[in-house]
Amino acid sequence: MKIYIAQQNYHIGNFEANTQKIIDAIKAAKAKGGDLIVFSELAVCGYPPRDFLEFTDFIERCNQSIRLIAAEADTIGVLVGAPSVNERVEGKDLFNSAYFLYEKEIKQIVHKTLLPNYDVFDEYRYFEPAFDWNIVEFKGRKLAVTICEDIWDVEENAMYRLQPMDMLMQQQPEIMINLSASPFDYTHAEDRLAIINKNVQRYKLPIIYCNTVGSQTEIVFDGGSLVADSKGNVVKEMASFKEELSYVTLNGSGGFEESVIRDFSALPAETLNPSTFQPELNIGRIYDALVMGIREYFEKMGFKRAIVASSGGIDSAVTLALACAALGAENVHALLLPSQYSTGHSVSDAEALSRNLNNPYDIVPIKDIFGQVEGALKPIFKDLPFNIAEENIQSRIRGLLAMALSNKFGYILLNTSNKSELATGYGTLYGDMAGGLGVLGDLYKMQVYALARYINKDKEIIPVNIIDKAPSAELRPDQKDSDSLPPYEDLDAVLYQYIEHRQSTPAIVKMGFEEAMVSRILRMVNMNEYKRNQFCPIIRISPKAFGVGRRIPIVAKYLG
């Protein structure tokens, strides 16, 4: 049996484009003698559709797409993900389903059993779990069809009360097929291999795992679809961050005709959420994910050009380089906004960066504008000393000017705040926290430095002085980040334990960190939740990002 795997990039709610993409893949597979083609979870509507699922019209358009796709499923079987209606009165109105289409008909609908309701997932908000389990019989073969999370609960500390594969094994299937929409994080490729391996070891069956690819606002999908035989050998591993149509041939004995690529014996012992912070870990994957995240956000929203407030600092430099890689240098405008507190090398470094990248830039000094604002406020501020108010005025002037160009020329402002700054509140609302997309908001400062070195791996793109100099907001004379924050090496290590591992102050102190510093850092994180609540979408590259996947009360006392 020749089975095609369609690793595709969908656009949420773009039924015409999604349906045509699916049909094109079916036609390609048919032309090459395919018996069955597998698509990913909720392929018809895109994942995650969220509250669109509450619109009756949205579900009807899903159904219309299924009918169009079924018309192409004549000589080939099709497994494709879409929501389906729960005909029972009891329970929620929808299932997250896999449609089996053949001979131009809906032959069978398989429902997802395990509905994740953690981190970025909220499927139990919309879907009813499956209440029965049946294999799909096709051309004399018995297929155990599951959907994403259905194969992930094979740990000793199980999250759910039952495993759908345990139920399906009672019907003696020959192969597992999983339709997935599993988001990227920088350790996820290892996690995916480990889960596939555990399923193979547990059920002694080969598996086809079809994942989606692309980016949906903050969530990136890296693809990486794969096929493993019943002995735990990988026989097919598809590209990361790219669409691909590939196939395997299932032979009569339940194996594959394809050669073994590798086995699972070399899997690292520690995969999900490494116990210690490792800034360099999988930095190349992070680069690819961020470039895809930017490009997809612009393409799917219909945007063409970006603007970045380029300060001569590490964060704006990395953001600018990523944006040029994603959108083309000609479509990324750098705006240099020096103040009287900016050092000369900040401007020259930012200019050198734009020359290296070959992107357009302008310089608009803000000293005079700041002076006018100071003069306007003097009757109210009187002779009070210079403090954070004046610092934030400068930042907000920069935000105002960047947004002025955004409005005038149709640019989308890319925010440059990193995770360390967002965690501790080291940023100005409506100033340097302005933007349409947070590019670095899920990277700690030390990861930003690692990414800068990765960008420079072949040649100097980001001037070395930007990487080597002490970071500063340059909002007062001789200002350094270290005036307000602990050293980033310590700060990031503590933040990682608190945010990614949800460790308390005593637990982090036991790891060797000074108690006063830990208490101070955690207090900063919690007292600045209100700032993050107003922040733009952040491209998610870690197992625990700020945004929809981390829900902390704004008004709270715990650890604050």
Q: Which of 112, 300, 419, 445 is catalytic?
A: 112
At residue 464, the pLDDT reads 96
309 among annotated binding-site residues: yes
Q: Let me know if 41 is a catalytic residue.
A: yes
Q: Is residue 246's pLDDT more than 90?
A: yes
- Residue-wise pLDDT for 318-358, tens only, equals 999 999 999 999 999 999 999 888 777 889 999 999 999 99
Q: Which of 21, 45, 62, 148 is catalytic?
A: 148
At residue 268, the pLDDT reads 60
Share of the chain above pLDDT 90, in %: 89
310 among annotated binding-site residues: yes
Work out the mean pLDDT of the chain and round it to a whole number.
95
311 among annotated binding-site residues: yes
182 among annotated binding-site residues: yes
Classify 220 as helix, strand or coil. Answer: strand
118 among annotated binding-site residues: yes
Amino acid letter, 33: G
| pTM of the shown model | 0.95
What would you measure as the largest C-alpha separation in the chain, in angstroms?
A: 87
What average pLDDT does this structure show over 269-296? 89
Select the CATH number that applies to the domain covering 2-263 from these four: 3.30.2350.10, 3.40.50.2300, 3.60.110.10, 3.90.420.10. 3.60.110.10
Higher pLDDT, 149 or 469: 149
What is the rounded CA–CA span in Å between residue 91 and residue 204? 34
What is the rounded CA–CA span in Å between residue 103 and residue 550? 45
Matching fold, domains 2-263 and 283-479: no
Q: Is residue 157's pLDDT more than 90?
A: no
Strand order in the sheet with 226-228: 136-138, 141-147, 175-180, 207-211, 226-228, 233-237, 262-263
- Residue-wise pLDDT for 400-458, tens only, equals 999 999 999 999 999 999 999 999 999 999 999 999 999 999 999 999 999 999 999 99
The domain ranges of the chain are 2-263, 283-479
The continuous run of DSSP H or E covering 407 comes out as helix 388-409
Q: May I ask the CATH architecture of the domain 283-479?
A: 3-Layer(aba) Sandwich (3.40)
At residue 272, the pLDDT reads 59
At residue 269, the pLDDT reads 54
Share of the chain above pLDDT 70, in %: 98
What is the rounded CA–CA span in Å between residue 44 and residue 121? 19
316 among annotated binding-site residues: yes
At residue 556, the pLDDT reads 87
- Residue-wise pLDDT for 41-96, tens only, equals 999 999 999 999 999 999 999 999 999 999 999 999 999 999 999 999 999 999 99
Cβ partners under 8 Å of residue 480, min gap 6: 470, 471, 472
Q: Let me know if 148 is a catalytic residue.
A: yes
- Residue-wise pLDDT for 102-132, tens only, equals 999 999 999 999 999 999 999 999 999 999 9
- Residue-wise pLDDT for 463-499, tens only, equals 999 999 888 767 778 778 778 899 999 999 999 999 9
Q: Is residue 163's pLDDT more than 80?
A: yes
